[in-house]
Amino acid sequence: MSVTRATSPEILVFAEARELLRCSESTLLDCINDGSVPAFKVGRQWRFYRSGLMALRWVAAGEQAAPVAAVRAVAGKGGRT
């Protein structure tokens, strides 16, 4: 049985997720740790489902804030105080 794009979600590595969300490494790690960005580990490396990150971006698309700030707002997480 062959695996196709339709049967297997596209998984992104950390750098690809950073690029998609347009944020720094430390900001993405903060978002992972506070639960506002869904991620999972394979060994010691973070992985992300593209569809999960895109869903966050679509919901945040109407916001005028920076993409990660909008993602946190959608997820109900505040920024650092």
Structural domain boundaries of the chain?
11-75
Q: What would the pLDDT profile of 36-55 be if each residue is shown by its tens digit?
A: 899 999 999 999 999 888 88
What pLDDT does residue 48 have?
96
What pLDDT does residue 56 have?
80
**How many whole angstroms separate alpha carbon 33 and alpha carbon 13?**
16
**How many whole angstroms separate alpha carbon 17 and alpha carbon 23?**
9
What pLDDT does residue 70 have?
60
**How many whole angstroms separate alpha carbon 64 and alpha carbon 70?**
8
Which stretches of the chain drop beneath a pLDDT of 50?
1-5, 7-8, 64-66, 80-81
Q: How many helices (H) and strands (E) does the chain have?
A: 4, 3
Instruction: Indicate the length of the chain as a whole number.
Output: 81
> Token pair of 66, please?
């920076």
